[in-house]
Amino acid sequence: MSIQPNVSNLKPPVIWMPKSIEKVIELKHQFGSNASFVSGATLLQLQWQNGHILPHHLLSLENIPTLKEMKMDVEKKHVSIGSMVTLAQCRFEPLFKKSLPILFEAVKTIAAPAVRNRATIGGNIMGGVGDLIPLLITLNAKLVISENRTIKTIELYEWVQRKEEFNQPLLIEILIPYEEMDGLSSVFYKKIGRRETFTAAIITVSGKIKWDPNGKIYNANLAIGGGDNNPALLQKTMGELIGKSMEDIDWKKVYASLLSEILPTEDVFVSGKYRKKAAANIIVAELQNSVGIYGTREEQVHEI
Ligand SMILES: Cc1cc2nc3c(=O)[nH]c(=O)nc-3n(C[C@H](O)[C@H](O)[C@H](O)COP(=O)(O)OP(=O)(O)OC[C@H]3O[C@@H](n4cnc5c(N)ncnc54)[C@H](O)[C@@H]3O)c2cc1C
């Protein structure tokens, strides 16, 4: 049920369309919490329809060309994506197809094409519940933000954990390390929804595994999020995998660990228990698929 806003409180907001990052930072400093950044407005529009109060000042990022840039830094080995890059661009930009094919795939699962033409990667992250967040966490993405007129770079996962402590920063760009996805690393992303497409996530899972040449896992990142679920790294389960080769992994223990540390939300349609089991099953299946190159896949622990 949508809550109708109190019409007597509705004063049209002032819309600002600055042309530079410096100007938008200045405006934010001037208006403080009376101003909100607006990228594609697809999430904001939903929130306003549900009764969220419109701020007095809307700072549109639409006219700032530098926020729409995508670059590959070969020396630093990262891709930098401006916060105003749309989800549609992530899907069609050849740079992503080549260097970050998983991002290219993941974006397909978000909303419908018309929404993706407006929706931005920055809005997906700063809205706090976007489906891309778990994937970007597993890829060790960093955020370049401006807070109180100071520009800094922080880990996305640090932002997710500490965002209440920040003073409404501007997200400028996202830095994603890239590497050759050879036989020694594997990455996955799955959005679990009530339908296959055009649906909100029940839960979204992602993972990245790296092996040494002897087939031992030396790095494992597993994350969940999507829908109303708080994005989280699954550190206990990651500990169950690191240092092990395929034969050493106790899949029942991995599954139990996932069930213990996935803490999803629940609503009238889908219970927390269902979300937890669905996520654990998908993660085990994806892990077994990815580690399968180093051994057999005899043991499967799937139950919902
Ligand atoms: C029909 C429909 C279906 C959708 N389906 C999905 C889905 O499947 N998965 C999903 O993840 N999302 C979905 N969404 C939500 C939304 O479209 C996406 O999350 C989108 O990426 C948000 O980007 P935006 O540019 O529209 O953000 P906006 O609505 O402009 O902003 C979202 C929030 O981020 C803040 N913000 C935006 N840019 C910045 C910045 N540069 N710096 C600081 N703060 C900023 C805004 O102030 C606001 O709080 C859907 C929306 C609609 C309308």
User: Is 55 part of a structural domain of the chain?
Assistant: yes
Query: Could you list the pLDDT tens digit for every one of the 304 residues in the chain?
Result: 444 444 445 678 999 999 999 999 999 999 999 999 999 999 999 999 998 988 999 999 999 999 999 998 989 989 999 999 999 999 888 877 778 889 989 999 999 999 999 999 999 999 998 999 999 999 999 999 999 999 999 999 999 999 999 999 999 999 999 876 566 889 999 999 876 666 778 999 999 999 998 889 999 999 999 989 999 999 999 999 999 998 899 999 999 999 999 999 998 889 999 999 999 999 999 999 886 655 444 445 545 4
Residue 8 lies in a domain: no
Residue 55 sits in the same domain as residue 71: no
Residue 154 within a domain = yes
CB 170 within 8 A of CB 145: yes
In the chain, how many domains are there? 3
Residues 204 and 240 both lie in one domain: yes
Strands 142-147 and 150-155: antiparallel
Same domain, 48 and 135: no
Q: Report the distance separating Cα 247 and Cα 20, nearest Å.
A: 55
Statement to judge: residues 72 and 87 lie in one domain? yes
Residue 4 lies in a domain: no
- Its domain, for residue 27, covers 13-60
CA 57 to centroid of ligand 1, rounded, Å: 18
Rounded Cα gap, residues 246 and 294, in angstroms: 6
Q: CATH no. for residue 219?
A: 3.30.390.50
Is 22 in a helix, a strand, or coil? Answer: helix
CATH number at residue 81: 3.30.465.10
- Cα of 114 to ligand 1 centre, how many Å? 13
Query: Atom 18 (ligand 1): residue with closest C-alpha?
Result: 124
- Gyration radius of the chain's alpha carbons: 20
Query: 139 and 109, same structural domain?
Result: yes
Q: Is the four-CA dihedral 93, 144, 206, 43 of positive or negative sign? A: negative
Pocket test for ligand 1, best of 2, 42, 204 (most atoms within 8 A of CB): 42
